[in-house]
Amino acid sequence: MHAIEFPVEIDHNQQIHLQLPQTVHAQKARVIVMYEEIAPPLKSMKLGLFQGQIIMSDDFNEPLPDSFWLEGKL
């Protein structure tokens, strides 16, 4: 058994067309199709749906106390 790899395009009818080289003299073949899925386009998101519903504390950027890091470690 021999193998030939062909890079091909799938047309709009979901068909693949192959032409074997003239040097191939065979009457039967087995075709295995390996394909790459195309990811569906992402749905657009509407920004601002939760605007004003999250409140950041005034000390958000302050360092955390040592008790936070050491709790449960001793």
Q: Please give the pLDDT value at position 61.
A: 93
Cα separation, 7 vs 60, whole angstroms: 55
Q: How far apart are CA 55 and CA 43, in angstroms?
A: 27
Q: Amino acid letter at 42?
A: L
pLDDT (0 to 100) of residue 35 = 86
Which residue reads 């998101």 in tokens? Answer: 45
Q: Return the closest-CA partner of residue 1 out of 21, 24, 33.
A: 24
Q: How confident is the prediction along the chain (74 residues), in pLDDT tens digits per residue?
A: 888 888 888 899 999 988 888 898 888 888 888 888 888 888 888 888 888 898 889 999 999 888 888 876 65
Could you tell me the pTM of the whole model? 0.41
Tokens found for residue 26: 């065979």
